[in-house]
Structure 1
Amino acid sequence: ANILEKMRICSVPRFVRIIQGIIFTKKKDPKLVVTDLHFGTIPVRLFQPKTMSCSPRRGIIFYHGGGAVMGGLDCYHNVCAFLARETDSVLLSVGYRKLPDYHYPIVTSDCLNASIHFLKRLNTYGVDPSRVVVCGDSIGGGVIAQVIRALMGQKDLPQIRAQVVIYPIIQTINFQLPSTQQNKSVPFLTWDLMLMFLCKYMAIDLSWQDAMLKGTFIPPETWMKYRKWLSADNIPESFKNKYQESQFPGPFNEAAYLETKHLFDVGNEPLLADDETIAQFPDLFLVSCGQDILRDDALLYKKRLEDQGVPVSWCHVEDGFHGAMVLFDKQPFSFPCSQKILNAVVSYIKGL
């Protein structure tokens, strides 16, 4: 993909999506009615159980992962069908726009706008307004917190009942957490790939990657303000095996900060929101994976919400890795952890 991009034949994101389209084929589920729609310019896919219900159903709004490069309605079709069928819910999958044509903050804005459109029309889809769940993995999991914050000011909309967050990317400031060191070479999200996706989405030149890794782009006063939420001190000792604490952040580089300062936007960094805002977040069900470079993002989010009294349920899958869930039906590439994650999500949602 990199060679083709350098030859100006095909960009990395488009090449990845071509391969993805070959591997991930959607299956028809006889128990569901599946409808492709557009909410304005945003493609969405609606999954509705065929059986009649005597009362409004639970609603799920799903934001897929893929680092704003891959993923999509077709890639996550079977995951969404499984969730809708097994929880007897109406599920809306949001096909937000991606790289290379769209950059930050398009993922958040598309997910927010599609969610507002859906929430305003719950009666049309037979959804109980008191039982709407937002669910997502990877970048989709991180977007959940951003969407929830934006919805807090809209009192005319139904409140989100719970958030189901699966191995999310929650922060883009501290890249020296234990899991970043321990799992930097573990597929499918390696250190290099994560930084490439992040820089491309945030429109940051790749030459600033080293400054981001070492934290030299972080102003000292900013780190003093936010380290209580972002430092490795918040990670339990049991997760620090072979972790070597580094001098973080490194010597401040103002030029690096000026090129990356939009990473500190509170709208992009839910952990940086004030305590009063965090305390208003809905119940959280969190999935973390032991072999995931983003494991500690999940742990930071867990602690931040718990400290403000938000009810948190946690499922840690020690043999899980980033992106495992989407492989649940891709034999022979499915793993026990793939089904374990989905079963845990289904069990939690059915309990609401």
Structure 2
Amino acid sequence: MRSSCVLLTALVALAAYYIYIPLPSSMSDPWKLMLLDATFRSAQQVSNLIHCLGLSHHLLALNFIIVSFGKKSAWSSAQVKVTDTDFDGVEVRVFEGSPKPEEPLKRGVVYIHGGGWALASAKIRYYDELCAAMAEELNAVVVSVEYRLVPKVYFPTQIHDVVRATKYFLQPEVLHEYSVDPDRIGISGDSAGGNLAAAVSQQFIQDANLKNKLKVQALIYPVLQALDFNTPSYQQNVNTPVLPRSVMVKYWVDYLRGNYDFVQAMIVNNHTSLDVEEAVALRARLNWTSLLPASITKNYKPVVQTTGNTRIVREIPQLLDARAAPLLAEQEVLRHLPKTYILTCEHDVLRDDGIMYAKRLESAGVEVTLDHFEDGFHGCVIFTSWPTNFSVGIRTRNSYIKWLDQNL
């Protein structure tokens, strides 16, 4: 009996050691976040083991775990009709709010899920619930795009999938079929989905053949640049769940089909050192000492290496491609973008990407709403129902949908 108690105590202590990580007191529901982070880390470690055994690619294994635990069928309710179909060969899940006699035409939203261009699905519970809520509360048709993922495809295939699905939806006959107002259509996404939404928005405003234009873009903690992995938010949140800096850098390497040997060099900005000519020309567009307010920069110092690894950008030139990193776009492109909403979270490595993009858009004359949450963390918008219900998740989702309701 005594040995069983000792063993149980040891197991509890080990579990507590694995789960506990120091978090700022200002974060929403810290203990719940520790449990969520521990669960995700466990899934990552299992997928890495599967990879090491040669059974499957670690991202395929991890996504299998995520989708298996969260996949939801296209179940319709009295308020929202849900249909799985395809738009020009791209899988989509369409959410249609109930018709209202006073509003014969609905609003339209193209939604792009996050997951590092490699994980998640339009069909998992988190995104299904978010899009269903949008369709119901906005009386909208929400098209959630099931774009193809790394490692089956790489940049820029994900962008092409979203462009194809969105252009199909924007056709007059398709909008008529879904009773959507062609003047009230927006594009939106979170994290890597926010990256794709921003990239597609930039591409569409340069497409002279596109008749129906997007009225708004709404970006939720978007990932927008790979030039500097030492912005204040990257330094402040280097190990913050659920997206530590090292994981974000690996997502970039995976998306752009790079070499994992480059990860450590990229973490210290060796890929954009002063001897990398391609990066020098773009550095002014990402000068965070001028783009970020003093309340954000605090005492953080820029990390700019004099000499680095010039091979990285030669082998992965897409790191400095505005299609992959929309924050690097020219000012002339930015000034034509539609009204924009950007949601950022204090405890997120991507916080400064969103804030800098908002600043650059404002300087270009675009109307921007920057919605910042001091207790937010990366991914919180989709965590609104038990057992992963966070108070900041509910508040961020409500704030996001409210902005769409007022501006779309």
TM-score band by shorter chain is over 0.9
Q: In structure 2, how many angstroms separate the alpha carbons of the residues matched to 1:247 and 1:136?
A: 30
Would you say the 8 A contact 1:230–1:300 is kept in 2?
yes
Q: 1:4 aligns with which of 50, 64, 74?
A: 50
Q: Is the 8 A contact 1:29 1:81 kept in 2?
A: no
Q: Is the 8 A contact 1:214 1:250 kept in 2?
A: no
Query: Contact 2:345/2:351 (CA < 8 Å) preserved in 1?
Result: yes
Structure 2 SS opposite 1:318:
strand
Q: Which moved more, 1:77-86 or 1:218-227?
A: 218-227
Against the structure 1 CA distance between its residues 223 and 11, is the aligned structure 2 distance closer, same or farther, given a 3 Å change threshold? Answer: closer
Q: Which one of the candidate residues 367, 378, 381 is aligned to 1:311?
A: 367
Deviates more, 1:98-107 or 1:296-305: 98-107
Residue 22 of structure 1: CA displacement? 4.1
Given that 2:239 and 2:245 are in contact with CA atoms closer than 8 Å, whether structure 1 keeps it comes out as yes
Which residue number corresponds to residue 96 of structure 1? 147
In structure 1, the partner of 2:393 is 338
Q: Deviations over 1:40-80 (max 9, x none)?
A: 33110111123344421110000110011212111211111
* 1:184 alignment partner, SS class: coil
Give the alignment partner of residue 293 of structure 1, picking from 328, 331, 349. Answer: 349
- How far apart are residue 214 of structure 1 and its match? 2.4
Counterpart contact for 2:82–2:95, Cα < 8 Å: yes
Aligned residues of 2:313 and 2:319 also touching (Cα < 8 A) = no
TM-aligned CA deviation for residue 323 of structure 1: 0.9
Report the equivalent of 2:119.
70
1:45 aligns with 2:93: yes
What are the superposed Cα offsets for residues 179-225 of structure 1, whole Å, 9 maximum, x if unpaired?
A: 00111111111112112221111110100112222222225444443
Tell me the SS of whatever aligns to 2:240: coil
Residue identity in the other structure for 1:264: L
Q: Deviations over 1:222-274 (max 9, x none)?
A: 4443222212212211113452x144144142222212222112322222222
- Over residues 275-295 of structure 1, what are the superposed CA-to-partner deviations in whole Å (9 max), with x where a residue is unaligned? 221100000011000000100
Q: Which has the larger radius of gyration?
A: 2
Give the alignment's TM-score, normalised by structure 2.
0.82
Whole-angstrom distance in 2 between the partners of 1:277 and 1:117: 23
SS at match of 1:203: coil
Return 5+ residue gaps in structure 2 as ranges: 1-46
| Per-residue CA distance 1:291-346 (angstroms, 9 max, x = gap) | 001000001111110101100111101111111111112x1321111011110111
Partners in 1 of 2:212 and 2:120 — Cα distance?
A: 28
> Does residue 1:161 correspond to 2:209, yes or no?
no
1:237 paired residue number = 294
* Partner SS state of residue 183, structure 2: strand
Instruction: Report the Cα distance in structure 2 between the residues aligned to 1:241 and 1:151, rounded to whole angstroms.
Output: 37
- 1:28 positional shift: 5.0
Provide the secondary structure at the position in 1 that maps to 2:86.
strand
Given the alignment of the two structures, is residue 198 of structure 1 paired with residue 252 of structure 2, yes or no?
A: yes
1:214 aligned to which of 236, 250, 268: 268
* 2-structure distance, mates of 1:25, 1:223: 41
- The answer (yes or no) to whether the contact 1:182–1:242 under 8 Å persists in 2 is no
- Superposed CA RMSD in Å reads 1.7
Q: How many Å separate the matches in 2 of 1:25 and 1:327?
A: 15
Work out the CA distance in 1 between the residues paired with 2:61 and 2:308: 37
Match of 2:25 in 1: none
Q: Is 1:59 matched with 2:108?
A: yes
Specify the alignment match of 2:176 in structure 1: 123
1:20 aligns with 2:66: yes
Are the equivalent residues in 2 in contact too, given 1:42–1:95 (CA < 8 A)? Answer: yes
1:224 and 1:205 mapped to 2: Cα distance?
22
Check conservation: 2:98, 2:136, Cα contact below 8 A.
no
Distance 1:154 1:36 in 2: 31
Amino acid at match of 2:112: Y
**Which structure shows the higher helix fraction?**
2
Residue of structure 2 equivalent to 1:32: 80
> CA separation in 2, counterparts of 1:80 and 1:69?
20
Given candidates 157, 165, 175, the residue that maps to 1:106 is: 157
Q: Determine the structure 2 residue equivalent to 1:347.
A: 402
What secondary structure is seen at the aligned counterpart in 1 of 2:382? helix
Number of equivalent positions: 350
> Conserved in 2, the CA contact under 8 Å of 1:99 and 1:201?
yes
**2:159 counterpart SS class:** helix
Do structure 1's residue 132 and structure 2's residue 185 form an aligned pair?
Answer: yes
